[in-house]
Structure 1
Amino acid sequence: MQRTVEVNSTVSRIVSLVPSQTELLVDLGLREKLVGVTKFCIHPTELRREVQQIGGTKNAKIDRIRSLKPDLIIGNKEENNRADIEALEKEFPVWMSDVFNLEDALDMLMRIGELTGTEAKALELKESIIQNFDQLKTLKSTGKSVLYLIWKDPYIAAGKNTFIDSMLKTLGFENAVSEERYPEAVLETLVPDYIFLSSEPYPFKEKHLEALQEQFPASKIILVDGEYFSWYGSRLLGAPAYFLKLLNLLHN
């Protein structure tokens, strides 16, 4: 965003506007410094009951955030509403991430570590994530196409130039849609090898799988954990193990 963000030498009151980065802040040992989180910050599970909720990622409650007097707000360029960020940055230090792939995610992790004085823990997490992702290099798909759906009515897919797409590429898959970002999927024009139905933001269930299977009898359709494909914080630690199980399931 081409901005300079100035923070106090010691950050003590943090508002997080992104669920995956909220989980990262907790894993960096900053739970006691979190004073505000979104209603979608579900990890750790009890956090929303213990920390003030400040609305959603797209509709932050500015007055509530103002009352918390944060000395650092952490957001994301894709997930948050631009108008909210522009309003908040007039009063508070607002640091924004912009994550499209694993390299970006690791850079974000280290920058948040620097901002919050948790560089050592951030480096430890980074090295563990890299080590875990190295396990995937010996077990990949063979260029099969995947339609990754994140929404229904209309069907919305994760397209090119998204973090989800980068995870699919990491596993050796080809994205079945050619458009960038999150296009409406015209199912009649697609013949994917696999269809992944994400658990978020739309909570796809078995009944949705069965309905699509009738339309795509030749495609293998499975429900997938969307957090491992789209959360770019410390949840990446467990993503490779999940991906290995997924690839083994597809290969059997």
Structure 2
Amino acid sequence: MRVVSLVPSLTEAVAVTVPGILVGATDWCTHPAGLAVTRVGGSKYPDLARVLALRPDVVLLNVEENRREDADALIAAGVPVWVTYPRTVSHALTELGDLLAALGATGEPEWLAAARHAWATLPAPADTPRAVVPVWRRPWVVLGGDTFAGDVLHRLGVRNLYAEHPERYPRPGLTELRDRQPELVVLPDEPYRFTADDGPDAFPGVPCALLSGRHLTWYGPSLAEAPAVLAAQLGRRLTHPG
């Protein structure tokens, strides 16, 4: 089997579970380190000619990361696609198990079993702050309802003030975000790379937690360590003076 992945987290999951079948991946597929496959451009704008030249038996896609027109073009060219769209941790674990089995994995990989255990045994959080979760700046975009990352944070005790918003990624202005009076601002380092010097400055006096975007949004081997990593990062909060 020949597989091309246009989703970084699935690239990692396939590469560490079914070695040898992955022949292509995006330029943004950074895990596992040293992955030696043909690069086919970005997730949003892949080089479809290069993808087709690899003669894949299946191309892995995600509803949020990839464009519908690229999926349609691959299908029109006779290439099967496998489209993922997890909105919860449980959904992600199920999707991963189904995908890996279809790709020939012999039994459930250790990392997936460890991820199931880690999330099933996650202790109840002692702190449940009201939070906003920006994922972009200029303009401000935040996590809304029905998102995988939102479910991750909910399980860790973060009460997203936009969890009931009808849009999955609303675009409130900074004034509105401040008026919500969050007790915590969660700032992941992807897709926008928030840092201690870029993000907390917009919310003076409000504690901010800088989180690993890979552990917050990727659904793959990182899911096994995500509860511990994110819980530790949520406990280390910065407060910008003001």
TM-score (norm 1): 0.86
Amino acid at match of 1:192: P
Residue 83, structure 1, aligned to residue 73, structure 2: no
2:87 is aligned, of 59, 80, 100, to: 100
Shift of 1:121: 3.4
Question: CA, structure 1 residues 202+247, in 2 after alignment: closer, same or farther (shift >3 Å)?
Answer: closer
1:28 is aligned, of 12, 17, 20, to: 17
In 2, distance between residues paired with 1:34 and 1:114?
15
| Residue pairs, 1:110-121, within 5 angstroms | 110-121=97-108
**Is the partner of 1:245 in helix, strand or coil?**
helix
What is the number of equivalent residue pairs in this alignment?
Answer: 231
1:45 is aligned, of 33, 41, 44, to: 33
Task: Give the corresponding residue for 1:127.
Answer: 113
1:225 is aligned, of 208, 212, 215, to: 212
**Is the partner of 1:165 in helix, strand or coil?**
helix
Root mean square deviation of aligned Cα: 1.7
TM-score (norm 2): 0.89
1:160-196 Cα distance to aligned partner (Å, 9 max, x none): 1111111111112211224231111323222111101
| Residue pairs, 1:148-227, within 5 angstroms | 148-177=133-162, 178-179=164-165, 180-189=167-176, 190-214=180-204, 217=205, 219-227=206-214
In 2, distance between residues paired with 1:26 and 1:247?
30
Amino acid at match of 2:15: V
Q: In percent, how many aligned pairs have the same letter?
A: 31
Structure 1 gaps, min length 5: 1-11
In 2, distance between residues paired with 1:119 and 1:108?
16
Shift of 1:127: 2.3
Task: Give the corresponding residue for 1:241.
Answer: 228
Task: Give the corresponding residue for 2:3.
Answer: 14
Question: CA, structure 1 residues 142+206, in 2 after alignment: closer, same or farther (shift >3 Å)?
Answer: closer
Question: CA, structure 1 residues 53+86, in 2 after alignment: closer, same or farther (shift >3 Å)?
Answer: same
Shift of 1:35: 1.0
Amino acid at match of 1:76: N
Structure 2 gaps, min length 5: 238-242
Which protein is richer in helix relative to its size? 1
Cα pair 2:74 2:81 within 8 Å, conserved: yes
Cα pair 1:209 1:222 within 8 Å, conserved: no
Amino acid at match of 1:66: L
